[in-house]
Amino acid sequence: MHDPTTTAEIARLRERIDAVDTRLAELLEQRALLAARVQRLKPVGYFAGRDADREHGLVRRMAEHAPRLGADRLAAIMDRVITAGLSAAREEADRGR
Ligand SMILES: O=C(O)C(=O)C[C@]1(C(=O)O)C=C[C@@H](O)C=C1
């Protein structure tokens, strides 16, 4: 398929991607835990308490650190991240009832 140098370079880069993904998973887990704590404190939490201004603000700030992705792509990513966090928090709250 590829020459050996290219194959080795792809393997090295994939190892680095895997390491980044591990860190990402840990950060996503940490974020979901913090977001769940916020839900428990908000007068109206979970999906009913979604706050578009807060979400736009955090995407804007993140975009400063991720110029390659930019605000529009980050907004799509963070929408999924926030939805997943709210879903996990809702499930946990429902189990506790
Ligand atoms: O900051 C809040 O008010 C939250 O509920 C947390 C969070 C988030 O996951 O960052 C979740 C839902 C809101 O739409 C905004 C932000």
Domains of the chain: 4-96 (1.20.59)
What is the pLDDT, as a whole number, of residue 96? 86
Task: Spell out the residues 6+ positions from residue 1 whose beta carbon is closer than 8 angstroms to its own.
Answer: 7
| Residue to probe by mutation, ligand 1, list 40, 44, 55, most atoms within 8 Å of CB | 55
Residue 53 CA, ligand 1 centroid: distance in Å: 10
* pLDDT band at residue 90 using 50, 70 and 90 as cut-offs: very high
Percent of the chain with pLDDT over 90: 95
* Closest ligand 1 atom to 54 CA: 15
Q: Above 0.90 for ipTM, yes or no?
A: yes
CB 89 within 8 A of CB 39: yes
Q: How far does Cα 82 stand from its chain's mean position?
A: 7
Residue 65 CA, ligand 1 centroid: distance in Å: 20
